[in-house]
Amino acid sequence: MKNKFLLSLPLVGSLAFASCYQLPDKPRATRPPTKQQTVTSEEQQKIQAQRELKEKEEKEKLEATTDVPAEPPEITAPSNPDKPDKDGVKKRDEYAFANPVPGKEGFVFSPYNNKLVDVRDIPSGTLVQDPTYPASEKKYFRVP
């Protein structure tokens, strides 16, 4: 009798433990919003056509107001960044400074895409090319 009781005790314990376990909820399937919906009445079709026309005009205005040059101007590294230019403006101010990573000496966040860049053993104020961009884009920043 005792033997049967002792053998059934682990079985009861495992069943009690299994009953307490919660199963995770299944993620709900979300449908992406549909842009094109069927419009039924003529008035609704007119309203939809007006909205599309208005969106198209706003898009054209936005494209017309932004001056995007065909080729970006080429940036050259200054030979002496501390020497004032003809206008009395230092070339040093033309380039953005990287943001230092708190708690990590020698690492900075790129000012263009906030990716981590290793600048150990590079003196402060030095102009460096962002290694996360290809050489054809020539993104430069200063070490803080």
- Considering the domain boundaries, does residue 106 fall inside one? yes
- Considering the domain boundaries, does residue 50 fall inside one? no
List pLDDT tens digits, range 15-65. Answer: 777 777 666 677 776 666 666 656 567 888 888 888 899 888 888 877 776
- Considering the domain boundaries, does residue 64 fall inside one? no
C-alpha dihedral over 46, 51, 57, 61, to 10 degrees?
160
Domain around 141: 75-144
Residue 82 amino acid letter: D
- Considering the domain boundaries, does residue 98 fall inside one? yes
pLDDT at 74 over 80: no
Look up the pTM and report it: 0.37
- Tokens representing residue 127 in the block: 């102009």
SS3 84: strand
Closest C-alpha among 110, 118, 115 to residue 142: 110
E-assigned strands of 1-144? 99-100, 107-109, 116-118, 127-129, 140-142
What order of strands is seen across the sheet that includes strand 116-118?
Answer: 99-100, 107-109, 116-118
- Considering the domain boundaries, does residue 114 fall inside one? yes
- Considering the domain boundaries, does residue 4 fall inside one? no
List pLDDT tens digits, range 10-25. Answer: 888 787 777 776 666 7
Q: How many domains does the chain have?
A: 1
Q: What is the DSSP string of 52-66?
A: HHHHHHHHHHHHHHS
CA distances from 92 to 85, 95, 123, 127, 141 (A): 10, 6, 15, 9, 10
**pLDDT of 102:** 92
- Considering the domain boundaries, does residue 143 fall inside one? yes
- Considering the domain boundaries, does residue 26 fall inside one? no
Contact between residue 138 and residue 129 where contact means Cβ atoms under 8 Å apart: yes
